[in-house]
Structure 1
Amino acid sequence: MKKNLFIVFIAVAAICFGHQAKAQVKPTATSGPVTVNINLTDAISITLGADPTVNFDYLTAADYAASKTVTKASHFTVISNKPYNLSVTAMGTFQPAGGPDLDIVTVNVPASTANGGTPVPNVPLSTTASALVNGSTASKGAIYTVEYTISDPASLLNLTGSTYNTTVTYTATQQ
């Protein structure tokens, strides 16, 4: 029996010593180059505010005796990745025909909302593009206030009671 026990002991010892503990070899860390591109395209946009319509209301005799200014806060927003200029153009004369001359209305951007640019004061409406702000800085959302003024309503006298309108377009052009 001692012999059998000795054989079992030898067998167990052989099994235990036969399995050697080996350290695991981790793979060597490697790296590869990765290219990161930032592809830019010149981008510019104008978005009109919630209420873009400008109304000059002449309802009483006193209205015809003084200048009127309609201020449109947050009139439009410009997004541009480069400096830009703003211009204003009337798409046509006031309709219906026989209405006032376009230049009765002047447009002004207060310096406080010119986004670092130089505003041109009191720009009369015209069918030719007219500079409104020069050299505005690049922006992810410049908000413009615009003042529309009729300084001398005398040319409104003798006109038929009606609503006279034209369409005004603002253009932002990158420098």
Structure 2
Amino acid sequence: MQLFLMRHGEASLNAPSDRERKLTDNGRIQTGDMANWLARQVSHFDLVIVSPYLRSQQTWQKVSKHLPEPRKLLVLDDVTPSGDAIRAVDLVLAYAEQYKADNVLVIAHMPLLGFMVSELVAGMEPPLFATSAVAHIDKHAQNASFVAMTAPHQVVV
């Protein structure tokens, strides 16, 4: 399975609650750049899991314009900023198995994403994700290897 963990785009701090923070103009641009990059890496996603927070939903809306519709889209409260990494990883892997997903995209938040990487890849410290950055993990059976971390400033538009 190819697992892509993506942080939402840059979000405004001006909102009634953390859940309602919207993408900034820069966040939409970053996300568009990364959506183009993702479309060059993967022809489709079998499974997409997205946080219910507005900035993650907006990130998915932007990404979804560049890729075919996934076989399954799930919105999970377990991939919010304060989510438990072990539970989030267990759920992602269980849903991937249930839907026989070879290509999986998770759009979520820091610090959860960093902790998910360290749960998936033995011995790896939690990496920091820039906004809209994507970590690619190659997961087979009990083994997972960290392929790369790509951020918007690294992609050629």
Structure with higher Rg: it is 1
Higher strand fraction (1 or 2): 1
Q: TM-score, normalised by structure 1?
A: 0.28
Q: TM-score, normalised by structure 2?
A: 0.30
**Higher relative contact order at CA 8 Å, sep ≥6: structure 1 or structure 2?**
2
